[in-house]
Amino acid sequence: MRWTPGGSSDDVEDRRDEGGGGGMQFGGIHLGIGGLLIIFVLSLVFHRNFFALLGMGGGAPSAVTQGDRPASGANRQLDEAEKPEVQFVTFVLNDTQATWTKILSSEGVQYRHAKLVLFRNSIDSACGMAQSATGPFYCPEDEKVYIDLGFFNELKRRFGAPGEFAQAYVLAHEMGHHVQKLVGIEAKARAAQERDPRSAKAISVRVELQADCFAGVWAHATEQRHLLDPGDIESALKAAAAVGDDRLQRMSTGHVNPETFTHGSSAQRDEWFQKGYTGGTVGSCDTFQN
């Protein structure tokens, strides 16, 4: 992707040094990011809170103690190593916000900026405590996107989706959830889930696929401005497919159960990203009617 490093944004909150540095502590068991990711996948597949089980009491996991954290020098070294990723996500954040400001304005909706929170290991959001293993997420309660930059390494190594535009897709997807909040889709979907809990997972899939489609709409806008390099869209499609429910379930259990999907299959996520990329409009992304 063609972008210029060095940009800044008042919408980025750097809270990486607020959490523990080496992982999380669960009842005497220390888990790094890789272990947390596995536990998250198992919790997702089996619909049980394995974090609570490991906590031996159902409460939120506690961060490692100060003595277990890296020295401040180590934190500074990690901050320096992550500088390219910080600059890139800042660029993507600024560009997605500018893009959606223009798109929503044309539809009579005033865009409100989201915040991007950078953290490590764990963080307390308005939507509750979250760990790195949860992956990047959007919290509608405070209109913030949360991301541990270490997730990009997992995306590349564990899920086989390298490349800057794969990273861009991840953030653009979460910003898609912010757009859903602004136009009222998020509230309607949540109300529908409360009215009919049995349809909650099916509605969740439609919400997630629409966020994928909105990421594709942003990709369309970047192409119109000649910001894409050859292979960028393929990189985004690999990232979308890598986090499909069927692939995650197959990786963790060897079996696939579509009835438990909450985000959509790899093929569905690929399809809806492409619909947004091809159509380039909000109207291209009506997952609730298709």
Binned at pLDDT 50, 70 and 90, residue 289 comes out as confident
Q: How far, in Å, CA of 201 to CA of 251, rounded? A: 20
Strands annotated E in the chain: 12-14, 24-26, 29-31, 62-63, 115-118, 122-125, 128-131, 137-139, 144-147
Question: DSSP assignment, residue 136?
Answer: S
Beta carbons of 273 and 237 less than 8 angstroms apart: yes
Give me the residue label for tokens 């910003």: 175
Q: What pLDDT digit, counting tens, does each position of 146-202 carry?
A: 999 888 887 777 666 657 888 899 999 999 999 999 999 999 999 999 999 999 999
CA angle 45, 64, 25 (to 5 degrees): 35
Q: How far, in Å, CA of 269 to CA of 209, rounded? A: 6
Q: 251-285: string of b/e by CB count within 10 Å (b at 16+)?
A: eeeeebeeeebebbbbebbbbbbbbbbeebebebb
Q: How far, in Å, CA of 231 to CA of 248, rounded? A: 24
Q: Average the pLDDT over each of 220-229, 254-263, 265-274 and give the range with the smallest value.
A: 254-263
219 pLDDT above the threshold of 80: yes
Beta carbons of 222 and 175 less than 8 angstroms apart: no
What local confidence, expressed as pLDDT, does residue 117 receive?
A: 96
21 pLDDT above the threshold of 50: no
Domain ranges of the chain: 12-285
36 pLDDT above the threshold of 60: no
Sign of the dihedral through C-alpha 72, 132, 184, 109: positive
> What does the block give as tokens for 180?
């859903």
223 pLDDT above the threshold of 60: yes
